[in-house]
Amino acid sequence: MYEKDGEKYYVVDSHIHFWNGGASNQKNRYGAGFTGCFYDYQKNLSPSEWVWDLEKFGSYTEDDLLHDLFDVGYVDKGIFQPTYLTDFYTEGFNTTERNGALAEKHPSRLITNGAWDPRDGEAGLDALEALHERWNLKGVKLYTAEWKGDSKGWKLTDPWSYRYLEKCEALGIRNIHVHKGPTIYPLNRDAFDVADVDEVATAFPNLNFIIEHVGLPRLEDFCWIATQEPNVYGGLAVAMPFIYSRPRYFAQIIGELLYWLDGNRLTFASDYAIWQPKWLVEMFVDFQIPEDMQGEYGVLTTEVKKKILGLNAARLYGFEVPAEARITTPGPTTGESIGSAPVDETHPVTA
Amino acid sequence: MSRGDEVWSALGAVRDPELDEPITDLKFVTEVEISGGDVRVRLRLPTYFCAPNFAYLMVADAHDVLTSLDWTHHVTVRLDDHFASEEINGGVAADAGFSGSFPGQAEGELEQLRNTFRRKAHTACLERSCRSLLEEGWEIEGLTRAHLSDLPSGSATESLLRRRADLGLTADPQAPLLVNDDGTPVDDVPRRLRYARTVRVSIDGNGIFCRGLLETRYGTADIEGTFSGIEVRKAS
């Protein structure tokens, strides 16, 4: 928990990784390229004291993760979002199994999501069920840009994807995290826009679709869809670190998101180990929309910050929030949200 | 104009479709070599995994603008340090089109994608122009009566006119300013402007991100780049 000026913030880091991206696990030049891209993100958007060397970045340790998230990073709960990338990495990049092993050792702090790929067909449905039994999944992470043999990507609207979403619904896996972000390499011209989210969000109103990286670099497409679909959420991984290097741009992103959605549908994430949560949490709590932009965007209230940092994700995942960090009074959302609100604001946020 | 200037100026018309900025401003062009009628150009991008369809558009457009200069004989455009460099370079050189460059992996050609970004670019430019009028004292509701001739002269207006031309919209000074991408009048002005602002924020943000990543990858005079961890020869 983070405390500042007498306010307590329950922190859920809803997008973290324990990857093995080092040279020994890289299958080919694509693996080297993928780790390298992530590393450039860290180097480009972190304060210098948080930039590692490439070797550590490729294969940091369990101790690094625990220290950065929990000893210094204020994180109360961390949610692993696996990305397999088995065409790039011999043992996979960041698998449910690798994440889950760590989560099992620290059950009060860490949980792992699973993943599926519609191109695995019938066998993949069984594998998902087994994964769910083994790890008690509350969510999955989908990576539509993943390569698999000759295929360089897939869409949420592919027929087999519907089968998997139905399976998730049947198993009670309600949180569907979808990567729609800047690593954009499926060749199909449609594979990295967010339109496919629109269709499945309508088709599966009982599932929550958390769009990681809030659609960047297609922020407006994401906002447009989220406005129409109350079960679409925005994960702030990759958007968060702009708070340090480009605070005015960060204000614009948050301002736009709060306008089109509202404060109940955004979730904090560091994307660890690309970025460390410590400085993100500190800067976010201290952050305010610059005065000359407040006419357009309003201000960020403490309540909205509390929701974004942890309460929204806690609600999606059923984490119990300590009483002192809850919000029990109706909180106004910042700005002039025109989105459809998914929650009753007078309802206390608890498990 | 020297041939070198002509080449640079031609390449300045090639834009990153998503960022809506010239590849020359974005520092994507690393080398231009002219020998008689032969031109060789090298390009680079901010990440190893930049979307191959965008990369293809830029390489193909660069090839086209240079080929259309009346003195060029043989044009070679090479993209360096990209996961699909080989396919893109080979495809553009052979005039194979995007699908032909990635047999079985890419559906259809890229005009639809290009049009999507032309519309976005128009929307973002329209927002900038409307904002300048609002700063001059116009009311939002009054903007439906604004004409192109009401805009101040300058680069923002030139940008808007260029984007209109890309969409086939008129540049007639008496033409209404506030139109949809298909030329029809906007009926809900505040909402259209609000959406346009989000488009503009999105495009601006992408530009910031890409410029930062390019510097991280290739370095600046003071900072050594990382080449995204890939061992490659640095383009000089």
- Cβ A70 vs Cβ A83: under 8 Å: no
Per-residue pLDDT tens digits of chain B, which is 236 residues long: 899 999 999 999 999 988 889 999 999 999 999 999 999 999 999 988 888 888 888 999 999 999 999 999 999 999 999 988 998 999 998 888 877 787 766 666 678 778 888 898 999 999 999 999 999 999 998 999 999 999 999 989 999 999 999 999 999 999 999 999 999 999 999 999 999 999 999 888 888 999 999 999 999 878 888 877 665 433 44
Residue at B159: amino acid letter: S
How distant is the Cα of B200 from the closest Cα of chain A, in angstroms?
9
Per-residue pLDDT at B107: 64
Q: Could you say which of B102, B194, B212 has the minimum Cβ distance to residue A44?
A: B212
- Residues 225-254 of chain A with CB under 8 A from chain B are 242, 245-246, 249, 252-253
A189 and B199 within 8 Å at the Cβ level: the answer is no
Question: For the segment A1-58, what is each residue's pLDDT rounded down to a tens digit?
Answer: 999 999 999 999 999 999 999 999 999 999 999 999 999 999 999 999 999 999 999 9
Three-state DSSP class for residue A349: coil
Comparing alpha-carbon positions, the chain B residue that sits nearest to A51 is: B216
- Cβ A338 vs Cβ A265: under 8 Å: no
User: How high is the mean pLDDT of chain A?
Assistant: 90
**C-alpha–C-alpha distance, residues A83 and A115, integer Å:** 7
Per-residue pLDDT at B109: 67
Rg (CA), chain A: 19
What ipTM did this prediction achieve? 0.88
- Residues 14-43 of chain A with CB under 8 A from chain B are 29-30, 32-37, 39-41, 43
Q: Give whole-number Cα distances, A39 to A87, A216, A301, B213, in Å.
A: 19, 18, 33, 10
For chain A, what is the total number of helices (H) and then of strands (E)?
Answer: 14, 10
Residues belonging to chain B: 236
Q: Is the peptide bond before A186 cis (omega within 30 degrees of 0)?
A: no
Per-residue pLDDT at B224: 82
Contact residues, chain A, for B108 at CB < 8 Å: 189
Is B91 at the interface with chain A, CB within 8 A?
Answer: no
Mean pLDDT confidence for A154-166: 94
Q: 3-class secondary structure for chain B?
A: CCHHHHHHHHHCCCEECCCCEECCCCCCEEEEEEECCEEEEEECCCCCCCCHHHHHHHHHHHHHHHHCCCCCCEEEEEECCCCCHHHHHHHHHCCCHHHHHCCCCCCCCCHHHHHHHHHHHHHHHHHHHHHHHHHCCCCCHHHHHCEHHHCCCCHHHHHHHHHHHHHCCCCCCCCECCECCCCCECCCHHHHHHHHHHHHHHHHHHHHHHHHHHHHHHECCCCECCHHHCCCCCCC
**C-alpha–C-alpha distance, residues A312 and A326, integer Å:** 11
How distant is the Cα of A221 from the closest Cα of chain B, in angstroms?
8
Helix-strand-coil percent breakdown of chain A, rounded to 5? Answer: 45, 15, 45
pTM, two decimal places: 0.91
Pair of tokens at residue A106: 């620290």
Q: Is B146 exposed, middle or buried (0-12, 13-18, 19+ CB in 10 A)?
A: middle
Triad B52, B18, A241: Cα angle to 5°: 95
Cβ contacts below 8 Å, chain A against chain B, sum to 115
**Cα distance between the two ends of chain A:** 17
Range with lowest mean pLDDT among A63-72, A123-132, A341-350? A341-350
Q: What are phi and psi of A276, to 5 degrees?
A: -95, 140
Question: For the segment B170-225, what is each residue's pLDDT rounded down to a tens digit?
Answer: 999 999 999 999 999 999 999 999 999 999 998 888 889 999 999 999 998 788 88
Three-state DSSP class for residue A248: helix
A54 and B228 within 8 Å at the Cβ level: the answer is no
Is B204 at the interface with chain A, CB within 8 A?
Answer: yes
Q: Is B187 exposed, middle or buried (0-12, 13-18, 19+ CB in 10 A)?
A: exposed
Is B232 at the interface with chain A, CB within 8 A?
Answer: no
Question: For the segment A25-39, what is each residue's pLDDT rounded down to a tens digit?
Answer: 999 999 999 999 999
Per-residue pLDDT at A344: 41
A37 and B47 within 8 Å at the Cβ level: the answer is yes
Contact residues, chain A, for B104 at CB < 8 Å: 150
B51 and A245 within 8 Å at the Cβ level: the answer is no
Comparing alpha-carbon positions, the chain B residue that sits nearest to A29 is: B230
To which residue do tokens 């191109």 refer? A119
